[in-house]
Amino acid sequence: MQLLIRSARVIDTDSPFDGQTVDLLIDNGLIRQIGENLTAEANTQVIEADDLHVSPGWVDLRVSAQDPGFEHKEDITSVCRAAAAGGFTDIAVLPNTYPVIDSKGTLGYVQRMAEGQPLRVHVVAAVTKKADGEDFTEMLDLHHAGAVAFSDGHHPIQNPDLLLKTLQYLQPVNGLLMNRAEETLLTRFGQMHEGIQSTLLGLKGMPALAEELMIERDLRLLEYVVGAEGRGQGVKSGVKGVKPSGYYVFSESAEPPALHFSTISTARSVELIRQAKANGLPVSCDVAAHQLVFDDTSLAEFDTNLKVNPPFRSPEDVAGLWAGLADGTIDAIVSDHTPQDAESKNVEFDVADFGIIGLETVFAAIMSHNKGLSLGQIIDKLSTRPRQILRLPPVTIAEGQLANLTLFQPGRTWTYERTASKSKNTPFLGQTFTGRVLGTTYRGQFNSAV
């Protein structure tokens, strides 16, 4: 069956139709025609709405699917429903399942469960067995079996030699290491950001230093691996030249990142990554949407739905995150979707588990609390850059291209009343937002979010 999208404004800087309001005719999963007042067959499904916009499908770099092992919190089917409702056509799922995705068997299970879903599921495999930071997995075998990247997910890599060797192992296959920066000995028993608010609330703090220290360490290790001048580490493909400081200079398109920092949360972290990019290191980073909405003052009522890791930082840190998005230092916005059951959240704050579900509210949260980003910049952080980071084929709104698209209404107000997730651990239920996802098109099917 054909799909006809009527009068949609295109948001895609790589498309010749960027900024134009056009009709799109989709047939057999491809964009067959773009123009004005298009006609179609009698049985064509027509999609039209006020304030309708269309962009390449959105990509979430950080999702906890919880399947296998924790299906009572979430499973592949429910997480895909929630993701499609949030406007995503691609998600990358973390390896922190039971068993951990550290073998081809578990990787294959997730791939099989993802067949027939309304979006594509990309599997991030574990760096270490059981994601416990001790022994390496067979990363090259997992890479050839379809792992899109490598990470221990919720467990930051503490051992510097392990991180160094991982970067070296992945270098020949152009692999991606994703790491969440946290020195866990500095955050042990921590409940929230360390600062005035943690003192007032009587909660043990998690210092910003724990994140910043590990980012500095990882950047130094990355510099060593890619071959700083005089260290004899070899030359990496795609290099355009070497600065006198010893850092490689990469072109915008030739060299994808080798190291990706997940869910950075402090202004100092932004500055460290900004400097690293200026020096040519192949590094990227993302921020969770909820980190841009809340700060540590939001925890005054001890709402366990606001207990996350990394924790909500100071207002100054939040301002630094927005600045990092505006200048391109922060490449992507993610949901950091972490489902938790009621037994994990309906308890005292200090024993509650960390995590928020967020797949359905990423776009709405950003639009409702936007600090000066253009719509094009927001879509770039949700679509173009995360797709590049994962080395996925580009999606462009042009005739003959795949119709993996997200339809949305940036000016529409709506109330978040229910979730497709099995879990309900979100502070956003009942909140009214500006910015609504209408649905997605994937493999020739329209998946309505309304």
Q: Which residues are catalytic?
A: 336
Amino acid at 184: T
CB 56 within 8 A of CB 406: yes
Residue 446 sits at φ, ψ, to 5 deg, of -95, 125
**For residue 156, what are its two tokens?**
């930051």
Cα 73 to chain centroid distance, Å, stands at: 20
Q: To 10 degrees, the CA torsion angle through 134, 139, 145, 150? A: 80
Q: Are 301 and 202 in contact (CB under 8 A)?
A: no
Contact 389, 315 (CB under 8 A): no
> Could you tell me if 328 and 282 are in contact, meaning their C-beta atoms sit under 8 angstroms apart?
no
Which ranges of 116-252 would DSSP assign to H, the alpha helix?
Answer: 139-144, 160-170, 184-187, 196-201, 208-226
User: Exposed, middle or buried: residue 399 (CB in 10 Å: 0-12, 13-18, 19+)?
Assistant: middle
Q: Are 100 and 66 in contact (CB under 8 A)?
A: no
